[in-house]
């Protein structure tokens, strides 16, 4: 995942927030994704304006104790959501 890429949600997905977690559902493909609190936060920061690097930096500032693994978490989450069609790049 290139740090300069800007992820954004693919249209057509329906979201349901439960506590800090998220369920993402596509009614046409019937694809369903579960996002834990970290993945839910990453997904919500994907607005097509912020780059991967900016999302990582924002989360690292907010959660400095998770600095060591934040870049990996962001990359893995974005890769998974892109592979399943919930995110694309702008």
Binding site for other proteins (CB under 8 A): 14, 16, 18-19, 21-23, 25, 27, 30, 32-36
CB of 21 to other proteins, least distance (A): 3
Measure CA of the first residue to CA of the last residue in the chain; give whole Å: 13
Q: In what order do the strands lie in the sheet with 21-26?
A: 14-18, 21-26, 31-35
CB of residue 18 vs other proteins: minimum separation in angstroms? 4
Return the closest-CA partner of residue 27 out of 16, 19, 17, 18: 16
Q: Which of residues 39 and 52 has its CB atom nearest to other proteins in the complex?
A: 39
Distance of CA 28 to the CA centre of its chain: 21
CB of 67 to other proteins, least distance (A): 26
**Which of residues 12 and 48 has its CB atom nearest to other proteins in the complex?**
12
Cβ contact 58:10 at 8 Å: no
Closer to other proteins at the Cβ: 35 or 52?
Answer: 35
């Amino acid at each position: 995942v290139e740090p300069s890429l800007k992820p954004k949600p693919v249209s057509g997905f329906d979201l349901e927030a439960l506590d800090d977690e998220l369920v993402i559902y596509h009614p046409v493909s019937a694809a369903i994704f579960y996002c834990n609190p970290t993945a839910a936060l990453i997904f919500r920061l994907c607005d097509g304006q912020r780059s991967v690097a900016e999302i990582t930096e924002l989360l690292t500032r907010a959660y400095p104790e998770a600095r060591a693994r934040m870049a990996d978490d962001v990359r893995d989450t974005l890769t998974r959501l892109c592979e399943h069609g919930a995110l694309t790049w702008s």
